[in-house]
Amino acid sequence: MDYVLSNIVVARDFTACIGTTVGVSFAKWRITIPSFPEGFNEIDLVVVVVVLLIIVVICYRFVIDHS
């Protein structure tokens, strides 16, 4: 769980850096969920995609190493 949470933080910072470099604000790509508490109610789609890619790579590597 700690590893997944640290990946989320890195992905969020990574997308912020990429957005700054390219000149695109990823803040407009966030989805607001009104039922969540304020400050925790935004889902960043770019971060979700990056985290899912990291998880797939880790799981794929684990399967390859243990075959």
Higher pLDDT, 43 or 8: 43
pLDDT tens digits along 7-39: 777 777 877 787 788 887 767 778 888 998 887
Q: Kindly report the average pLDDT of the chain as a whole number.
A: 78
Stated pTM of the model: 0.56
pLDDT at 49 over 80: yes
What are the extents of the domains in the chain? 2-65
Alpha carbon distance 63, 61 (integer Å) = 5
Predicted pLDDT at 1? 64
Q: Using alpha carbons, list the distances in angstroms from residue 11 to 20, 53, 64, 67.
A: 14, 10, 24, 29
